[in-house]
Amino acid sequence: MALWPFILVKNLATKESQVIIHHEKIHIRQQLEMFVLPFYIVYLSFYLYYRIKGNPHMQAYLRIPFEREAYCEESNFDYLDKRKFWAWRYYIRN
């Protein structure tokens, strides 16, 4: 879990997973470019929107554009070097 400026992990296996850590680094970048607090407001708003539309918890979570970007790019370790500002916008879908 990324809570700027920290990445919180449950166990050593998670800490040693480059993919998971990179996923969380993408979230840190998203948080920074949105000045942290607005990120959490927008994140929660997307989640609630998808829940209200009838999606179960996990499906609503996976539809959040911040998560879509992080999951799509978590194995692309060069991604943050070439990532465009507010790139998460390209992952918004209804």
User: What confidence tens digit (pLDDT) does each residue in 29-53 have?
Assistant: 999 999 999 999 999 999 999 999 9
Domain boundaries along the sequence of the chain: 2-91
Give tens-digit pLDDT for 6-22. 999 999 999 999 999 99
Rounded to two decimals, the pTM is 0.95
Phi, psi angle pair for 71, to nearest 5°? -70, -40
The rounded distance, in Å, linking the Cα atoms of 90 and 69 is: 8
